[in-house]
Amino acid sequence: MRIGLMVEGQANLTWERWIHILQTAERLNLDSVFRSDHFVIGAPKSALDAYLTFAIAARETSNIRFGPLVTPITFRSPQDVARMSAQINQLSNGRFLLGLGTGWHEPEHTQFGLPFPPLGERFDRLEEGINIIKTLWGEGPASYEGKFYNVKDVDMLPKPVYGADTPILIGGKGPKRTIPLIAKYADEWNAVNVRVEEYRHLVGVLADRCADLDRDPATVQQSIMAFPLVAGDERSLDRMTRWHMSMSGATGSPAAYREDKRANSNMIIGLTNEVIDLIGQFAELGAVEMQFEHFNFGSDEWPDYLASEIAPQVAGF
């Protein structure tokens, strides 16, 4: 099992802090740094553009994978996404991974004057967008005509490192539309904030949808992004919990807060041995990488802990 970081790019991320996070991940030999692609969630905070940060990541790192978890099809045209991602993929020698999704946060679309179609249309746009991107990444001149997007006799240059075979990640866990799209198009599936029982069910759904297409489900790499409240001892766990509580203005004891989250969320909560066991269960179901949310940009305690206490114990899973 590989271990990486997930960063909320709209949560007061600055250039100094982003570069530090990248350098820290490299220094600690973590496997990846992924980030959200949002303009704003909640109160306005510094929100660095995702693709500008990826260009920086390509130059500031040498080993880690990086990319968006995930880019909404509603933010940019797929033609723009294809061009930017191809160039960043080339700049990073193939380490950039394009993650795509339908988009979900309607308020930021309203604030920035972006259309937010119904969910069914967003799925249709996502599928067309993937075809546009693959067309532009492949040999040209090429054309694609869809209901929402089209290109004609275009040869986009430069291409990504592996051309039309450059991997695409699709994020989500909806069994009706998302999993079938993953089976059809994705090289990697990222499930967000999921319990083991639900994940086991979704892995089965993916296997069924792959069978419908005569595809081996093992050709879809599985990764998981998780929201953690995890530490090596109770004192450290309480400190991490208090910091997390401060983000939302929650009050009360850290222990009570954790119990509420255990009951009412899919957060991964506990001490090291509990989390190692849980990661092992995900690995048995096929997951090969987990990205853990990095909440406190001002501290290296969490990436240090992942690198020293978690990654060595799960490397053989």
Which domains can be identified in the chain, with CATH numbers?
A: 2-227+266-314 (3.20.20.30)
Q: CA-to-CA distance for 97 and 177, rounded, in angstroms?
A: 22
- Token pair 């799960």: residue: 314
Taking the C-alpha atoms of 22, 27, 31 and 32 in order, what is their torsion angle to the nearest 10 degrees? 0
pTM, two decimals, is 0.96
Q: How many residues does the chain have?
A: 317
**Token code pair at residue 44:** 């306005």
pLDDT of residue 14: 97
pLDDT of residue 248: 86
Runs of H (alpha helix) within 186-300: 196-212, 234-248, 254-264, 272-284
pLDDT of residue 297: 94
Write the pLDDT tens digit of every residue in 85-126.
999 999 999 999 999 999 999 999 999 999 999 999 999 999
Residue 224's contacts (CB-CB under 8 Å, 6 or more residues apart) are: 190, 191, 192, 194, 199, 282, 287, 289, 290, 291
Give the chain's residues under pLDDT 70. Answer: none
